[in-house]
A and B are shown apart, each in its own frame.
Chain A
């Protein structure tokens, strides 16, 4: 029976609608009657503990990690503006998240379900301490509050990443309005399109129901089950793999940053005055906190505390180091000196690239991925950016955009078990268990490329419209005098360092 039901790679995640005709025949011909799939929802304290720690680790990435990383890179007169922007975004988005963000990202969205969720859990309606959400293992669940808190930290850090692109020149009020619009119209839909799915037990239940209905010749019931199987986010249904947010977080924020720095224009004095970082010590502290926190981000995205968590930790660690090593040596060779800023930038590039691959690639694949990301991001930031005349102040696109694209596409390659990858998960061929689908390179890589292109266009165009909207109403940029004086005094009325 089980052998008969073993479908080809097409039954992998994503290819949920329409099973191959041969498999349907096989299922119909199967003699033994199928019983409806039943399951229990058990919560494991170890999982909850790990996810609680991961949540705190991801918050550590934002404040103080990202804030200090960015803060050290701007000039003294703008230090507090960056710290304030990152912290304020974190605070505002957290409140939006529990009001309607979580609902838009992680509920059924009716006719728009492919793109965005609905408002059924606005104000966390119906969520209590007994609510549970699925993980990636049949029968294993998390308290819904654990999931809400973990995903909240992702919603908080993603928009905060963008501010590096137009640092030292954006108006604080305009930024706050832009961020509210951006998370609502870009981030929550992206999260829904990539991460919204029914969970292993739901898939098993609907797949079993479908097979039973087909065996009984009940077309209507079979179609209903098939529809349920396909009720996932758009990119999920394409079979795009994104373990911890390569598309949702990094490409998304990277492109929004790129568009932002173009719409706002270059800083006053760009290319003429020195815009050297005011404290690489702060930047090093920030980068190190990002490195530490990223284990919560990547390994926490497994939602459980098990062997895949361990794999994600190893992958994250080595990809980060490989990224740093690659950037350092290439900069040494091409610019004459190995710099601290280069080293930590490479580490971040490696971390970004391994994000979508963390639970799918193998450790050796992750090392290669980190090396490639460190090298390519360096070349982009040191040469291409200047050639294009982009004033992406803190290289949001150069590191998160480029690193994210490399990671997303590489995930489709490195998931291959032949390359030491974990393989593409398949919850359907044997409902109730997790199988590894047959790896077809073209299918896997195409799904990733489609997801990358979609994110580039969706986030790029969407962000552009939102920037223009805010620019026409409030005005995105501070006055030139304010920019010269520095945003700290002019916009916030305080100085980072008083002597």
Chain B
């Protein structure tokens, strides 16, 4: 099993969710986050007071899938979330040791 963590632009969330559902992803966790990468923030001006906002809003997806599906998920997120502009986000893939479904006690691939 793989855990895929992706930080993407908030307005791309719905599109990515639809694309992932189509390829068979059955669940995901979504968090509103702030962060910075190469986009590194923007400037806000309030009555002449300028503030450099270093952290920009992003959405973080956490998806656990079987090893066989992982590459396809990464590719789908990459193509769907892409705008070709700076700040499109990052994707990370990690190994997962164990998964348990709380209701039934099923484990690993069966729990996904």
Q: Which of B47, B51, B53 meets A341, CB within 8 Å?
A: B47
Which residues from B are CB-within-8-Å of A339?
Answer: 45-46
Q: How far is the CA of A276 from the CA of B47 in the complex (A)?
A: 10
The one of B45, B48, B49, B53 in contact with A275, judged by C-beta atoms closer than 8 angstroms, is B49
Q: Is the CB of A386 within 8 A of B45?
A: no
CB distance from A400 to the nearest CB of B (A): 14
Q: What is the bound-complex CA distance between A449 and B1, given in angstroms?
A: 80
Q: Whole-angstrom distance between the alpha carbons of A384 and B49 in the complex? A: 12
Q: Does A315 contact B (CB under 8 A)?
A: no
Residue A266 is within 8 A (CB to CB) of chain B in the complex = no
A335 adjacent to B53 (CB under 8 Å):
no
- A276 to B50 CA separation, bound complex (whole angstroms): 9
> Which residues of the other chain, B, contact A341 by a CB distance below 8 angstroms?
46-47
Q: Which of A383-432 contact B (CB under 8 A)?
A: 383, 385-386, 395, 398
Task: Determine the chain A residues whose CB is within 8 A of the CB of B46 once the complex forms.
Answer: 276-277, 339, 341
- Interface 0/1 of B30-73, CB less than 8 Å to A: 00000000000000111111010100000000000000000000
Say what secondary structure dominates the interface of chain B. Answer: strand
Cβ proximity bits A320-356 to B, threshold 8 Å, 1 near / 0 not: 0000000000000001010101100100000000000
Inter-chain contacts of A275 with B (CB < 8 A): 49, 51
Complex contacts, B51 vs chain A, CB 8 Å: 274-276
Q: How far apart are A127's CB and chain B's nearest CB, in angstroms?
A: 44
Tell me whether B53 and A342 are in contact (CB under 8 A): no
A382 at the interface (CB under 8 A from B): yes
Q: CA of A275 to CA of B52 in the docked complex: distance in angstroms?
A: 11
Q: Which residue of B44, B45, B51, B53 has the most chain A CB atoms within 10 A of its CB atom?
A: B45
Assess the A345–B47 pair: CB atoms within 8 A: yes
A382 touches B44 (CB 8 A): no
Q: Are A342 and B44 in contact (CB under 8 A)?
A: no
Q: Find out whether the CB atom of B44 lies under 8 angstroms from the CB atom of A276.
A: yes
Evaluate contact between B53 and A381: CB separation under 8 angstroms.
no
Candidates A274, A277, A381; contact of B48 at CB < 8 Å: A381
Min distance, Cβ B47 to any Cβ of chain A, angstroms: 5
Q: Which 4 pairs of residues, A with B, have the shortest CB-CB distance? A: A382-B48, A274-B51, A381-B47, A276-B51
Question: A274-B44, A275-B51 are known contacts; what are 17 more A-B pairs with Cβ within 8 Å?
Answer: A274-B53, A276-B44, A276-B46, A276-B49, A276-B51, A335-B45, A335-B48, A337-B45, A339-B45, A341-B46, A341-B47, A342-B47, A381-B47, A381-B48, A382-B48, A383-B48, A395-B47
Q: Which residues of B contact A (CB under 8 A)?
A: 44-49, 51, 53
Q: What are 14 A-B interface contacts by the 8 Å CB criterion?
A: A276-B49, A276-B51, A335-B48, A337-B45, A339-B46, A341-B46, A345-B47, A378-B48, A381-B48, A382-B48, A383-B48, A386-B48, A386-B49, A395-B47
Residues of A that sit less than 8 Å from B by CB: 274-277, 335, 337, 339, 341-342, 345, 378, 381-383, 385-386, 395, 398
